[in-house]
Amino acid sequence: MTTATTPVPEASAGPPATPAAPASVSFAEAFRFWLKLGFISFGGPAGQIAIMHTELVERRRWISEQRFLHALNYCMLLPGPEAQQLATYIGWLMHRTWGGIVAGALFVLPSLFILIALSWVYLRFGDVPLVAGIFFGLKPAVTALVLHAAHRIGTRALKNRWMWGIAAASFVAIFAFDTPFPAIVLAAALIGHFGARRWPQVFALGGGHGSAKASYGPALIDDNSPTPMHARLSRSHLAKVLGFGIGLWLLAMAVLIALNGLQGTLTQMGWFFTKAALLTFGGAYAVLPYVYQGAVETHQWLSGPQMIDGLALGETTPGPLIMVVAFVGFVGGWLKQVFGPEAPFLGGAVAAAVVTFFTFLPSFLFILAGGPVVEATHGKLGFTAPLSAITAAVVGVILNLAMFFAYHVLWPQGFGGRFDALSAVITVAAAVALFRFKVGVIPLLGACAGIGLLSTWLLPLIR
């Protein structure tokens, strides 16, 4: 008697098995990742977002592509550094309020400590030929970078003649009439708001990063994952977060007033950078003209050339580019001697920390208070007409900033002084490297710093 057997299919037959969803992530594991991200987040917002996408969506699968982009689109609508806000959002979604605070803080703190150290080196040894030569090469590179930023934002924002008109008007307003940056932002937002009612096709350009186009397998926070309890919309939660955030701001300001007086340098820095934090639509380059107007012209915490040097340092460190404000704070605290002439480093370090706190506090509030709203509106985020108009206006403002930097780099002693031909050559070469050959920021700055250093050795021999 024979027994019939059913053939067993080979292991290679059939489609590949679907990967399982990743296991839950502990707070300690997430902490280690956010700490690592704080030290490797180079490349500006585009590079930082790409790193998070690779790590969190593709490799670790902590969040799905669709949920990642939905959060990113919300962060793009906010003033403030979108990459830092995105990290805060994902950390909050995974581990509640403390998860968001840790993710957002670790995105910033490494950069703060590095910039404090570099700012001290800059002020302490800035006149040493070695350091001076490096910054001589960095200044033209920064001028090219700002011009490239205007082009990059403009290609995305200036999609029709109306947007070109807004950009041109904003340039004339700030260049010819020295119009404050907040007034330009407000005017552009009103144009976008009311213009969209009459000509919606002009202003409905969007501002997000598109829709999800890929799946990397099941994610811990997947497309259809239920919204966690802490992420559900609640008026009481909203009031509690806003109340705590505003109370924290008032407490910090009260401490500064008690220690430094209402007109003291630290108090004025806290108030000024609170306003700056609410105006950073379009990225750090957009708010730099406002920072220049206040920090250089009004309060005189630092000079124009020092502002250019600070931007160069900000470009070479991890973290959001808006961290250049820590350099502004350090230099202002050092030069204004907020703790007396015997403690310049302490004054600079405390000022840098104060500026960083007031710059990023609103970003945490936007996420911790507004996150539940976003979780309740998958695929329903509203039109971005005011944002589109603001972004167009930002192009004109950044172009004005590029001209300001070029003036200080090419005519160091003003138009009545000599024209710096070597700086002009480095500026043109850096622009060609960016526009034509798509050279990265770090290699570009390294090459220009090397050229500047070499020039300090060769020029005395030639002369």
Q: Domain boundary residue among 67, 102, 137? A: 102
For residue 4 the two structure tokens come to 């019939």
Ranges in the chain, pLDDT < 70: 1-18, 42-44, 46-47, 73, 204-215, 280-284, 376-384, 459-463
Q: Which domain holds residue 92?
A: 27-102
Q: Are residues 180 and 255 in the same domain?
A: yes
Q: Are residues 272 and 356 in the same domain?
A: yes
Q: Are residues 319 and 260 in the same domain?
A: yes
Structurally, how many domains does the chain consist of? 2
Q: Are residues 86 and 150 in the same domain?
A: no
Q: Are residues 195 and 333 in the same domain?
A: yes
pLDDT at 178: 81
Q: Are residues 330 and 183 in the same domain?
A: yes
Q: Are residues 382 and 421 in the same domain?
A: yes
Q: Domain boundary residue among 102, 136, 162? A: 102
Q: Which residues pair with 221 in a beta bridge?
A: 63
For residue 274 the two structure tokens come to 């609170």
- pLDDT tens digits for 371-412? 887 776 554 433 457 777 887 887 888 788 788 878 888 998
pLDDT at 381: 37
Burial (CB < 10 A; 0-12, 13-18, 19+), residue 14, is exposed
Q: Are residues 368 and 278 in the same domain?
A: yes
Residue whose entry in the numeric block shows the structure tokens 């910090």: 252
pLDDT at 6: 45
Q: Are residues 78 and 137 in the same domain?
A: no
CA separation for the pair 36, 51 (Å, rounded)? 11
Instruction: Quote the DSSP letter at residue 62.
Output: S
Q: Are residues 91 and 134 in the same domain?
A: no
Q: Are residues 384 and 256 in the same domain?
A: yes
Q: Is residue 5 part of a domain?
A: no
Single pTM value for the model: 0.75
Q: Is residue 240 part of a domain?
A: yes
pLDDT at 157: 76
